[in-house]
Chain A
Amino acid sequence: MADVVFDQASRVYTAGAKPAVDRLDLEIADGEFVVLVGPSGSGKSTALRMLAGLEEIDGGEIRIGGRTMVGVPSRDRDIAMVFQNYALYPNKTVGENMAFPLKMRGVEKSVQQEKVRAAADVLGLTDFLDRKPKALSGGQRQRVAMGRAIVREPQVFLMDEPLSNLDAKMRVSTRTEIAAMQRRLGVTTVYVTHDQVEAMTMGDRVALLADGRLQQFATPADLYDKPANRFVAGFIGSPAMNLFTLPVSAEGVHIGSSELRLPREVRGRISADTVTLGIRPEQWAVANGRGTAGGGADGVGGDGAGSGVKAQIDVVEELGSDAYLYAHLDDEEQTPVVVRTGGRTGARRGDQVVLTPTSEDLHLFDAESGERL
């Protein structure tokens, strides 16, 4: 058991180029499950591999249990890693694969077998111990990779997109299994994924990276409710948050042909002429000219037509319980907007609707820097 600290840790692949990981600061508590999430190429794998000892730490420091890892080879770090393509040893049986880390540490044969059997039991691999990895399904291989990591009883688990090669259903079930197993074992875990749903459902805390930089490190709820900047706001949540860069008016902002009034306290935070306003798809109430559209939520924030925004629906996606309306505002750019409503709205393509924010809790970002206001 150990805590993990990234202290201004950087990695530069080629001298002079932009760092793949740029002065990363993370403090991960003992037993915590932390997810590194971000778009492809944001440096998640690099950060994890630096922790694993597979990449150099070119600047700053990484500490495991208070001990600096600069210059410490992988095998002396007491970590276990699950790779994206599992990286099973093709010439070894499932049992030998799982026993390998123990064998390399000179653990006695009988103890090895005992631990492998116990892990195989938990993972449902008992019948496959004598098979080669080639004769296993994707899900079984994934479990072997997990088994190889847990027999070690390491200080830290590292996982690099371990679910990305599974089908959608397996991914959901394995997701909960991994989270449950981590809670049971209580081993500090750093988990890399590009999938924000995995990040939000699995992590105690989530670190969001973009371009090698940490954007925000917070609990899933905080990440969703208080995104630190425009990038986080757009990345977390599906469909993504609607982000509009709007001119500021006396009482609020101009949006489309109408004016959206903002609470005085919120308006007070804006100092520039323009501001980026973020409204999540579920924070809209939908009404049409001839009354509320279908089963859409009632507007609460709008006091009269003055607060509403006119829009025209382009596409309706019925998901059963919910529906997504893809529309565009009646401004010159035809700014696209996404609305999430209850199912069976009866809304159609081409309908004119009036959208009203339902919540006072709107997100405002500086139009220049993208930082939360």
Chain B
Amino acid sequence: MKTKSGILLLAVLAAAGLGLPLAASAADAVRSLRGTAVDQAAQQPGNYAVEKDHAPAAREYVQQPPLIPHKVDGYNITTNFNKCMDCHSWTRYRETGATKVSLTHFKDRDGKELSNISPRRYFCNQCHVAQTDAKPLIDNSFRKAEGLK
């Protein structure tokens, strides 16, 4: 009994001693890159327009999921129907003029090759995104991979 309450007392003291300065320094030290306080909402989301359809964009590095070079408004992916695959599947791409889905998308997580895309690639928007006219929020020093220059 005695040792238990002793530990409890120690714990309370430690929490009080550590917690206070921690809370104070957290507000001082942590700065959002976007220039606003961390506990404030980031910049107001703007009304950005999606880019018009254009030719496929050059890739920045080899394993990059290519950006979507067209509008995707209203392209729903549901259990019933995958709108993207209506143009990008190997049975449809010739008629629609779309790039056929990459071979890498047919492999399931055990490395087995399937006859159509693997369920883990079903939600295309997880990796492929359309672009808007938004400007980068902060400067950065990202450079294209050497081999793709």
Q: Do A and B bind each other?
A: no
Residues of B within 8 A of A (CB): none
